């Protein structure tokens, strides 16, 4: 899947002739749509301690980059490190994303600014009194209504000094700003279990709270498991949080675990006493029946149905009164007058031909949409967000 996505990104590069961003930490340059810099929360490197660094992405307004699971399209940011001997970089620590819809597709990513943190283990025998140079190469996909692959050579130089590393309040602030809008998921303290059938997955998190949980959302960590376009149904009660999601089409193989990030706002007491939280969920999964009443498809009441019918009639009237359509009505009326003098059999044949043309045209459009939706499980090219 990764190779396939990289090939798609290369195709997007060729199609859009995107210039490549060449950026460095010392003087971050403006790329086409993203500026990146590598920073640390300390001014020095201490032997045997963990160095906390972050790749800060400043994203042009109207564009976005992607989470570790990009959703229906896209590619996550990657970093290929070139570190001194004995240094070891951990995985990127991904803040919770937001939903980014585009037509029938749903992606997960970031806008404006985000800090992707990485912990780097420093060897205990690191000589002090010299500078340490950390370098790497970052790749990411930035998208609006089109996508552009971008990349950067990143570099960070810090002096190695004995004792505790000296904090850098400026860089700490920049990292907090890059993470402020994107809550960093914590390990969940709650038990979680998942049940699945061929169509749905039901996740229960035994979360207890002193206050009210609102603005709940769930993001799957594993690609291709759920239908990203179908919004999860989430309910919070005294026994915890229940999440019901639709399985991705064609993904009916057994699940051993269901992993993701749960985000929510916790309101305690006073109206303005709230905090945004996110937790990582790793739930063992087992096959089982999910009650029919828990189906993800919402029911439509009579009132809503009548409102939809009235809106459709009103929209049809407005459409027919538009300057581009109104002249066609007179042409059609004259055509009907002419046909009134024709043989009844001819009138019926022309009416049937007209109806068949309408049905075939809409059938072609519907078929194209069905094919496109079914192809989502194969990941569409990342040329749309």
Report whether 192 contacts 283 (CB < 8 A).
yes
pLDDT of residue 275: 76
pLDDT tens by residue, 223-232: 989 999 888 9
Looking at residue 116, what is its pLDDT? 95
Strand order in the sheet with 88-89: 34-40, 50-59, 113-121, 88-89
DSSP state of 249: T
pLDDT at 103: 81
* Six token digits for residue 73: 């399209």
Ramachandran area for residue 48 (φ above 0: left; ψ -120 to 50: alpha; else beta): left
Domain boundary among 294, 312, 345: 294
Burial of 360 from C-beta contacts in 10 A (0-12 / 13-18 / 19+): exposed
Confidence label for 191 from pLDDT (cuts 50, 70 and 90): very high
Q: Which two tokens stand for residue 25?
A: 């930490």
Q: Is residue 23 predicted with pLDDT exceeding 70?
A: no
pLDDT at 297: 43
Cα–chain-centroid distance for residue 168?
Answer: 32
The answer on 115 and 29 residing in a single domain is: yes
* Stretch 341-356: mean pLDDT: 80
Measured CA to CA, the distance from residue 90 to residue 290 in angstroms comes to 39
* 218 within a domain of the structure (yes/no): yes
97 and 148 inside one domain: yes
340 within a domain of the structure (yes/no): no
Average pLDDT value for the chain: 81
Are the C-beta atoms of 219 and 263 separated by less than 8 Å? yes
Residue 155 contacts residue 134 (beta carbons within 8 Å): yes
Domain holding 126, by residue range, is 2-183
Residue 237: predicted pLDDT: 83
Pair 15, 151 in one domain? yes
For residues 45 and 81, the answer to whether their CB atoms sit within 8 Å is no
Of the three residues 120, 155, 183, the one that is the final residue of a domain is: 183
Residue 265 has pLDDT above 70, yes or no: yes
pLDDT over 90 (residue 45): yes
Do 154 and 191 reside in the same domain of the chain?
Answer: no
Q: Is the pLDDT of residue 43 over 80?
A: yes
Phi and psi at residue 135, to the nearest 5°: -130, 160
- Do 252 and 168 lie in one domain? The reply is no
Q: Is the dihedral of CA 16, 22, 25, 30 positive or negative?
A: negative
pLDDT tier, 258 (very low <50, low <70, confident <90, very high otherwise): very high
pLDDT tens per residue across span 272-331: 667 788 999 999 999 988 875 444 444 445 666 777 788 778 777 777 777 776 777 677
The answer as to whether 347 is a domain residue is no
Q: Is the pLDDT of residue 5 over 50?
A: no
Please indicate, yes or no, whether residues 168 and 219 belong to a single structural domain of this protein.
no
Q: How many domains does the chain have?
A: 3
**What was the pLDDT predicted at 96?**
94
What CATH number does residue 162 fall under?
2.60.40.1250
Q: What is the mean pLDDT of residues 11-27?
A: 35
| Pair (65, 174) in one structural domain | yes
Task: Report if residue 345 sits inside a domain.
Answer: no
Together in a domain, 126 and 148: yes
Residue 302 has what pLDDT?
64
Q: What is the mean pLDDT of residues 357-379?
A: 72
- Residue 355 belongs to some domain of the structure: no
pTM for the whole structure: 0.68
Q: What is d(CA 179, CA 202) in angstroms, rounded to the nearest whole number? A: 30
What is the mean predicted confidence (pLDDT) over 361-384?
64
- Over residues 26-36, the mean pLDDT reads 62
Phi, psi of 14 (to 5 degrees): -65, -40
Residue 20 and residue 159 share a domain: yes
Distance CA 154, CA 271 (A): 44
In a domain, 46, yes or no: yes
Which pLDDT value is given to residue 373? 61
Residues 195 and 315 placed together within one structural domain of the fold: no
Sequence-ordered strand ranges (E) for 41-162: 50-59, 65-71, 78-82, 88-89, 98-102, 105-110, 113-121, 131-143, 147-159
The answer to whether position 359 is within a domain reads no
Residues 175, 225 share a domain:
no
> Picking from 16-20, 93-97, 120-124, 186-190, which range would have the lowest pLDDT averaged per residue?
16-20
Task: Point out the domain boundary residue: 254, 277, 294.
Answer: 294
Please tell me the predicted confidence (pLDDT) of residue 31: 52
**More confidently predicted of 348 and 8:** 348
In a domain, 269, yes or no: yes
The CATH code of the domain that includes 242 is 2.60.40
Of residues 121 and 11, the one with the higher pLDDT is 121
Over range 82-91, report the average pLDDT.
Answer: 96
| Residue whose pair of structure tokens reads 């022309």 in the numeric block | 350
What are the pLDDT digits (tens) for 126-150?
999 999 999 999 999 999 888 999 9
Q: Among residues 259, 230, 234, which one has the least CA distance to residue 244?
A: 234
Where is pLDDT greater, at 323 or 359? 359
Percent of the chain with pLDDT over 70: 79
Residues 351-373: what's their mean pLDDT?
Answer: 81
Residues 191 and 285 in one domain: yes
């Amino acid at each position: 899947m990764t190779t396939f996505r990289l090939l798609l990104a290369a195709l997007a590069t060729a199609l859009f002739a995107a210039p490549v961003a060449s950026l460095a930490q010392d003087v971050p340059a403006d790329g086409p749509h993203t500026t990146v810099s590598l920073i640390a929360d300390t001014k020095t490197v201490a032997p045997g301690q963990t160095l906390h660094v972050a790749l800060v992405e400043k994203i042009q307004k109207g564009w976005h980059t992607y989470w570790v699971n990009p959703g229906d399209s896209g590619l996550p940011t990657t970093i290929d490190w070139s570190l001194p001997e004995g240094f070891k970089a951990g995985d990127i620590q991904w803040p919770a994303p937001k939903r980014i819809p585009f037509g029938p597709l749903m992606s997960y990513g970031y806008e404006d600014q985000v800090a992707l943190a990485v912990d780097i283990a420093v060897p205990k025998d690191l000589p002090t009194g010299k500078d340490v140079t950390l370098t790497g190469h970052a790749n990411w996909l930035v998208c609006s209504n089109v996508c552009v692959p971008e990349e950067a050579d990143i570099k960070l130089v810090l002096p190695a000094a004995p004792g505790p590393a000296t904090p850098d309040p400026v860089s700490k602030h920049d990292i907090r700003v890059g993470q402020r809008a994107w809550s960093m998921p914590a390990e969940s303290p709650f038990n979680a279990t998942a049940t699945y059938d061929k169509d749905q997955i039901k996740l229960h998190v035994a979360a207890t709270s002193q206050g009210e949980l609102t603005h709940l959302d769930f993001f799957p960590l594993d690609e291709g498991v759920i239908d990203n376009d179908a919004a999860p149904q989430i309910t919070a009660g005294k026994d915890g949080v229940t999440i019901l999601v639709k399985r991705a089409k064609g993904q009916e193989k057994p699940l051993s675990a269901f992993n993701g990030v749960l985000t929510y706002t916790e309101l305690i007491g006073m109206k303005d006493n709230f905090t945004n939280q996110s937790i990582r969920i790793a739930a063992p999964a087992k096959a089982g029946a999910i009650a029919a009443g828990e189906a993800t498809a919402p029911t439509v009441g009579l009132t809503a149905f009548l409102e939809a019918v009235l809106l459709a009639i009103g929209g049809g009237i407005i459409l027919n009164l538009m300057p581009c359509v109104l002249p066609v009505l007179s042409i059609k009326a004259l055509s009907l007058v002419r046909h009134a003098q024709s043989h009844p059999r001819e009138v019926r044949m022309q009416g049937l031909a007209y109806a068949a043309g309408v049905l075939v045209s809409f059938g072609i459009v519907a078929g194209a949409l069905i094919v496109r939706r079914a192809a989502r499980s194969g990941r569409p090219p990342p040329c749309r967000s």
